[in-house]
A = this chain, B = another copy of it.
Amino acid sequence: MVAMARTSGQAANRFTVVSGIRASARPPARPKPAPSAEIGPLAAIASLASFAPGATILMEGDAADHLFRIVSGVVKVHRTLADGRCQITGFLFPGDFIGLAPEDVYLSSAVAVGPVTTSRFPRKKVEQLVEVSPLVARLLLRRTCSELIAAQDQMLLLGRKTASEKVASFLRLIAQRLQDEDITLPMTRVDIADYLGLTIETVSRTLTLMRADGVIQVDRAHIRIMRGAELDALAECA
């Protein structure tokens, strides 16, 4: 499961986790593929909404008045226990929808991680559109399906993976979703821990170990990932 410490030179630089927000001294990162195709008739009822880092976009229990779609930035969705224990059920990226609820109230809270811009759609009008436009219905269904799949992956992770596997899976997810050469992770250790069902100490220790094994590289407070050839090294990192 280990036995590969200090294979430097070869292992190093596969995956670079740098920290610090200033994103300089790196190739400018290829432009992302358009976050998603068309939203069809939805465009007609959209308004823009922006959120500062840490701002709450919507809160568990509030009336579900709007549906949001992320234009830029990253959003965390979380659920909280009475005593404060928190589980982030997902990170959402540009193109993802926030606020789909089968009832009249939101069932999770959504918080901006870093600055976020969204399209906002009045729920009532969305429901009308679903009645009329198969395109919209299919779009929402497809998105919800994908989120369900992701949720199931996350359940496997939470229930059956070790701390190292959890962190490795997380890094791979981020690398997939933010397809740049050079990525700044805006989330803190607290977010990562709450996403993986770990404590911040365990996350920190695990990252330290990975760095020692040469699988990743870490710098400052926040995290930047430089994608190497194969992320798969992380998979075997067990």
Copies assembled: 2
Chain B nearest Cβ from A34, distance in angstroms: 19
Q: Assess A155 versus B154: contact at CB under 8 Å? Given A137-B137, A137-B138, A138-B130.
A: yes
Q: Assess A145 versus B79: contact at CB under 8 Å? Given A89-B152, A130-B134, A151-B152.
A: no
Which residues from B are CB-within-8-Å of A140?
Answer: 141
Q: In this assembly, does A178 line the interface, its C-beta being within 8 Å of a C-beta of chain B?
A: no
Chain A interface mostly: helix
Which residues from B are CB-within-8-Å of A108?
Answer: 152
A160 lies within 8 A of B130 (CB): no
CA distance A79 to B159 in the complex (A): 11
Q: Assess A152 versus B107: contact at CB under 8 Å? Given A102-B142, A160-B86.
A: yes
Binary interface profile of A, 6-40, with partner B (CB < 8 Å = 1, else 0)?
00000000000000000000000000000000000
> Which of B77, B145, B160 is within 8 Å of A81, CB to CB?
B160
B151 lies within 8 A of A151 (CB): yes
> Which of B86, B144, B158 is within 8 Å of A145, CB to CB?
B144
Which residues from B are CB-within-8-Å of A159?
Answer: 87, 158, 194, 196-197
Q: Which of chain A's residues 122-136 have a Cβ closer than 8 Å to chain B?
A: 130-132, 134
CA distance A176 to B197 in the complex (A): 26
CA distance A177 to B102 in the complex (A): 18
> Which of B102, B145, B153 is within 8 Å of A149, CB to CB?
B102
Interface residues on A, range: 35 or more
Q: Which of chain A's residues 62-101 have a Cβ closer than 8 Å to chain B?
A: 77, 79, 81, 85-87, 89-90, 100-101
Which residues from B are CB-within-8-Å of A130?
Answer: 134, 137-138, 141
Which residues from B are CB-within-8-Å of A137?
Answer: 130, 134, 137-138, 141
Q: In this assembly, does A147 line the interface, its C-beta being within 8 Å of a C-beta of chain B?
A: yes
4 closest residue pairs by CB, A with B: A159-B197, A137-B137, A151-B151, A158-B158
> With contacts A131-B134, A144-B144 known, what are 8 further pairs, Cβ within 8 A?
A79-B153, A81-B156, A87-B155, A89-B152, A101-B149, A130-B137, A140-B141, A159-B196
